[in-house]
Amino acid sequence: MSISLEDQYDKIYRYCYFKVNSKEKAEDLTQETFLKYFSQTSYINRGKPLAYLYTIAKNLCIDYYRKNKEEEIYQVVTEHEEITIFETNYVIKQAVSTLPEDLQELLLLRFANDLGINEIANIMGVSRFSVYRKLNTALGRLKIILREEDFT
């Protein structure tokens, strides 16, 4: 399977932005992800390239967190500033932010990055069944938070 660079750049960038909440850092991490991805080609021609790409991005984000624990606090503050920019989606963003991190990540991969259940299962290292269950849980919780009448 081959991947579309243009398309995947945006998706990995969105994923990194979700993880680090900084435009510049997210872009740096996205570019580093692609450089690492292409630095060795033995795996990408045989394995699951998309899962591999996301795993690199995820690990880079984790490394970034470890090195920049102080910055994290600063970024949480800027997150609120970003929310005001996208005012129209404020409610849904707030609702999503109340969910646990793993469910937020799942929603991002499924609905923002349009990944299939199988691909998500590979990236997150869980079974397909678990992905389905978590998705239903996340959507169920969101519905409760947002109150059904707002979306009918």
Partner 1 sequence: MRNKLEKQLKSAFEAPVPAGKHQFLTKLDYPKARRIDFFKSQLGYIRKRVWVLSALLFIITFLGLYFYHVSTSFIWIISSALPFISLVSISEIVRSTSYNMEELEMSCKHNYLEVSLARMGILGAADFIVLISILLLFMEKTDLGFFRLGLYLITPFLLNCYGSLYIVNRLKNKETMYICGCITAFVSFLNALLSIQMSELYTEKYWLVWAVSFVILAVLSGRKAAILIKNMEELQWNSSLTV
Which residues of this chain interact with partner 1, rule CB under 8 A? 2, 5-6, 9-10, 13-14, 17-18, 23, 26-27, 30-31, 34-35, 38, 41, 82, 86, 88-89, 92-93, 95-96, 107-108, 111-112, 139, 142-143, 146, 148, 151-152
- Tell me how far, at minimum, the Cβ of 41 lies from partner 1, in Å: 5
CA atoms 45, 50, 55, 57: torsion sign: positive
- Tell me how far, at minimum, the Cβ of 42 lies from partner 1, in Å: 11
Q: Which is nearer to partner 1, 51 or 103 (CB)?
A: 103
- Tell me how far, at minimum, the Cβ of 73 lies from partner 1, in Å: 20
Residue among 7, 57, 68, 66 nearest 32 (CA): 57
Residue 114 CA to residue 145 CA, distance in Å, equals 23
Instruction: Please list, residue by residue across 21-48, b when 16 or more beta carbons sit within 10 angstroms of its beta carbon and e when fewer do.
Output: bbeebbeebbebbbeebeeeeeebeeeb
Q: Which is nearer to partner 1, 60 or 108 (CB)?
A: 108
Q: Which is nearer to partner 1, 19 or 121 (CB)?
A: 19
Q: Which is nearer to partner 1, 108 or 121 (CB)?
A: 108
Secondary structure letter of residue 126 according to DSSP: S
Q: Which is nearer to partner 1, 99 or 126 (CB)?
A: 99
- Tell me how far, at minimum, the Cβ of 123 lies from partner 1, in Å: 15
- Tell me how far, at minimum, the Cβ of 40 lies from partner 1, in Å: 10
CA atoms 119, 124, 126, 131: torsion sign: negative
Residue among 27, 17, 33 nearest 108 (CA): 17
